[in-house]
Chain A
Amino acid sequence: MEDYILLGHGNGGKLTAELIETCFLPCFKDPVLNTLQDQALLEIENHRIAFTTDSFVVDPLFFPGGDIGKLAVCGTVNDLAVGGAVPRFLSVGFIIEENFPLEDLKKIARSFSRAADTAQVRIVTADTKVVEKGACDKLFINTSGIGTINEGIDFGSHKVAEGDAIILSGDIGDHGIAILSSRKGIAFETSVTSDCAPLNLLVHEMLPYAASIHAMRDPTRGGLGTILNEIVQQSGFGITVYEDALPLKEEVRGICELLGLDPLYLANEGKLIACVHPDGAKELLSAMKKNPLGKDACIIGHVTKEPPKKVVMETRVGGSRFIDMLVAEDLPRIC
Chain B
Amino acid sequence: MKYLDEFRKKEPFQAILSKIKSLPLTEISLMEVCGTHTVSISKSGLRSLLPPGIRLISGPGCPVCVTSLEDVDRVIMLAEEGRKNKRYIIATFGDIMRVPGSHSSLLKEKAKGSDIHILYSPADALTLARENPEKEVVFFAVGFETTSPTFAATILQAQREGLSNFSIISNNKLIPPAMEVLLEDKETTIDGFLCPGHVSAIIGTAPYQRIVDRYQKGCVVSGFEPLDLILSTYWLMLQKRDTAPRVEIEYSRVVHPEGNAKALALLNQVYDIADASWRGFGVIPKSGLVLKDAFSAYDGTKKFDLPTPEVATPHGCRCGQVLKGMITPKECPLFATRCTPTNPVGACMVSSEGTCAAYYKYEQ
Contact = CB atoms under 8 A, between A and B. Distances in A.
Given A257-B1, A328-B352, A14 B342 contact: yes
Given A6-B111, A327-B342, A328-B352, A319 B120 contact: no
A112 to B, nearest CB: 32
B104 to A, nearest CB: 10
Interface string B11-53: 0011000000000000000000000000000111111110000
B361 A250 contact: no
Nearest to A188: B120
Contacts of B47: 319
B43 A315 contact: yes
Contacts of B14: 317-318
Interface string A245-262: 000001001100101100
Contacts of B230: 317
A239 B362 CA distance: 14
Interface string B327-342: 0000000000000011
Given A14-B341, A185-B124, A320 B48 contact: yes
B108 A328 contact: no
Contacts of B364: 322, 324
Contact of B45 (A1, A6, A319, A328): A319
A321 B363 contact: yes
A115 to B, nearest CB: 32
Contacts of B288: none
Contacts of B363: 321-322
Report the contact-size class of chain B (Cβ under 8 Å from the partner).
35 or more
A317 B8 contact: yes
Contacts of A15: 342
Interface in A282-335: 313-322, 324, 327-328
B217 interface: no
Q: Which of A18, A260, A317, A328 has the most CB of B within 10 A?
A: A317
Contacts of B94: 328
B324 to A, nearest CB: 24
A4 interface: yes
B124 A317 contact: no
Nearest to B351: A328
Contacts of B119: 185
Contacts of A254: 1
A209 to B, nearest CB: 33
B352 A315 contact: no
Interface in B108-133: 108, 111-112, 117, 119-120, 124
A245 to B, nearest CB: 13
A317 B1 contact: no
Q: Which of B10, B45, B49 has the most CB of A within 10 A?
A: B45
A5 B341 contact: no
Contacts of A6: 107-108, 111
B352 A260 contact: yes
Interface in B335-364: 341-343, 352, 360-364
Contacts of B342: 14-15, 18, 327
A315 B117 CA distance: 35
B294 interface: no
A185 B1 CA distance: 25
Given A257-B4, A317-B226, A328 B124 contact: no
Contacts of A4: 108, 111-112
B241 interface: no
A315 B44 contact: yes
Interface string A1-43: 1101111100000110010000000000000000000000000
Given A317-B14, A328-B98, A322 B341 contact: no
A324 B10 CA distance: 24
Contacts of B286: none
A316 B341 contact: no
Contact of B111 (A5, A259, A314, A321): A5
Given A7-B111, A317-B226, A328-B98, A322 B362 contact: yes
A5 B108 CA distance: 9
A186 interface: yes
Contacts of B292: none
A7 B49 CA distance: 38
B9 interface: yes
Interface of B: 1, 4, 8-10, 13-14, 42-49, 94, 98, 107-108, 111-112, 117, 119-120, 124, 226-227, 230, 341-343, 352, 360-364
Given A315-B43, A317-B13, A324-B361, 15 more contacts: A4-B111, A185-B120, A253-B1, A315-B45, A316-B9, A317-B9, A317-B10, A317-B230, A319-B44, A319-B47, A319-B226, A321-B48, A322-B361, A322-B364, A328-B352
Q: In the A-B complex, list the 8 residue pairs whose CB atoms are closest, starting with the nearest.
A: A319-B45, A327-B341, A321-B362, A317-B13, A315-B45, A317-B226, A321-B45, A324-B361
16 contacts: A4-B108, A185-B124, A250-B1, A257-B1, A257-B4, A317-B45, A317-B49, A318-B10, A318-B14, A319-B49, A319-B226, A321-B42, A321-B44, A321-B48, A327-B341, A328-B352
